[in-house]
Amino acid sequence: MGQLVQLGGIAVTEKYREGTRESTLTVPPVALCGDPKDIDEFLWHMALDCKERQINAFWLVSRGVKGYLLVATDRIKGIECPDLVSGAYAGNNYWQVAEERAGYWFGQQKWGVVGLGVNAAHHRSHEQLHIHMSAVRQGVKPMLDMAYQSGRIAKDWKNWPTYLNTVTGEDMSGNPQPRTYRVVHTDSFKTLNLFKALYDNVVVTRNESMGDQTMIVIEAGNGPADGYYVLNSWDGLPHPATTPQGIGVCDSLLICK
C-alpha cells in the first residue's frame, strides 16, 4: 500500500461509436466516461481522495450496502464508457480483479456462492464505475445449473445473444422476480475483457446500447461445470411471449442492496 498516485485517463486514438465503432476519439469521451473534475460524485471523490491503496492500481475496494464494491480509480462513469471496450481502460481486467478480491474478502465468511455485477447506466446509484461483489440469492445457481445440464446455456460467446433463460431472483420487497437473461458459460476470463465480449457479441450484433446493459458473473463451481455463468439483460430485451421481460439491474440476483 502507498500514497495515491496521479489519476486520469490515457490519451489514445481509437475508432468507436456505440453500435458502429465509427467516431474517432483522442481522449476518453467526457459525455460517456465523465470528467475527472466531477468531484461531486461520491465514489469518484472517494477514489480520487483515497490516501492509501496499491501504487498504480486501477481499482480499489470499498464496502457496499451489502457486500463490497470494486471501484475504478480512473474517471469512468460506468458500463457505457467506450474506453472500457477499446481504448485507455480496455487493458484493465476489472472483472478478474473483482473475482480475486471477492475471494479474499469473502474467504472468512459463509457467503455461499459469490457473484459480480454491474448495473445499466440509468439504474445505478453512483456515476463512477463499480462492480458489486456480493452473495448470490438462494436458488439462482441451481436454476443455472439445470439450464446448463439441459443445454440451454451458450458455450460459445458468439451464441450468447440467442440463449435466453428465465432466472428468478427477488425484488426490493423480497418477492420472487423472474426475468429473462442471456446466459453464456466460460471456463475463465483471466485474459478476457468482459466489457468487450458484451459489446462485440451482443450490443453490436443486436444493435443495442451499451449503457442499457446489466452484466452479472456467477461462479459455476461445485455444479455440473467449473468456471462461470455470465448473464446479460436489459429492460427492453426482446423475448418470447412465454418468458418475462428483461431487467437492467444486478440486485435481483445478487444480495447487494
Instruction: Give the DSSP letter of residue 3.
Output: P
Q: Is residue 204 part of a domain?
A: yes
Residue 20 has pLDDT above 50, yes or no: no
Dist CA 244 CA 233 (whole Å):
12
pLDDT at 48: 61
Range of the domain at 213: 58-79+94-257
- Positive or negative, the CA dihedral 67, 97, 212, 153 is negative
For residue 23, tell me if it sits in a domain: no
pLDDT > 70 in the chain, percent: 84
CA distance readout (Å), 119 to 53, 212, 221 = 25, 9, 24
C-alpha cell at position 166: 428465465
Domain-embedded: residue 48: no
Query: For residue 135, what pLDDT is reported?
Result: 93
Which band of pLDDT confidence, cut at 50, 70 and 90, is reported for residue 24? very low
pLDDT at 18 over 70: no
Positive or negative torsion for Cα 52, 53, 58, 61: negative
210 backbone dihedrals φ, ψ, rounded to 5° = -60, -35
Least confident of 41-55, 58-72, 184-198: 41-55
Give me the sign of the Cα torsion angle 136, 139, 141, 143.
negative
Q: Across residues 64-93, what is the average pLDDT?
A: 93
What CATH number should be reported for the domain holding residue 102? 3.30.428.30
Q: For 213-222, what is each residue's pLDDT tens digit?
A: 999 999 998 7
Count of CA atoms in the C-beta half-sphere (13 A) of 23: 11
Angle value at C-alpha 155, between 152 and 157, nearest 5 degrees: 115
Q: Which pLDDT belongs to residue 10?
A: 29
Instruction: Kindly report the pTM of this predicted structure.
Output: 0.82
Residue 140 pLDDT: 97
Find the DSSP H helices in the chain: 30-33, 42-49, 94-105, 140-149, 194-198
Q: 14 falls in which pLDDT band (50, 70, 90)?
A: very low
pLDDT at 40 over 50: yes
Banded model confidence at residue 110, pLDDT cuts 50, 70, 90 = low
pLDDT for 173-232, tens place per residue?
999 999 999 999 999 999 999 999 999 999 999 999 999 999 999 999 877 889 999 999
Q: How far apart are CA 9 and CA 248, in angstroms?
A: 27
Does 47 fall in a domain?
Answer: no
* Residue closest to 7 by CA, chosen among 46, 36, 38, 45: 36
3-state secondary structure of 204: coil
User: How many domains, the chain?
Assistant: 1
**241 assigned to some structural domain:** yes
**Within a domain: 14:** no
Which distant-in-sequence residues (6+ apart) come within 8 Å of 106 by Cβ?
Answer: 114, 133, 135
**Is residue 187 one of the residues assigned to a domain?**
yes
pLDDT in the model for residue 108:
62
What is the chain's mean pLDDT, rounded? 85
Residue 158 has which C-alpha cell?
Answer: 458468439
pLDDT surpasses 80 at 4? no
DSSP-assigned states of every residue in 97-131:
HHHHHHHHHTTTS---SEEEEE--TTT-S-SS-EE
Cβ atoms of residues 210 and 203 within 8 Å: yes
pLDDT of res. 223:
78
State residue 237's pLDDT score: 97
The three cell numbers of residue 28 are 476518453
Closest CA to 35 of 8, 10, 17, 59: 8
pLDDT at 36: 81
Whether pLDDT at 7 is above 90: no
Over 70: is that where the pLDDT of 54 sits? Answer: no
Q: Please tell me the predicted confidence (pLDDT) of residue 205.
A: 98
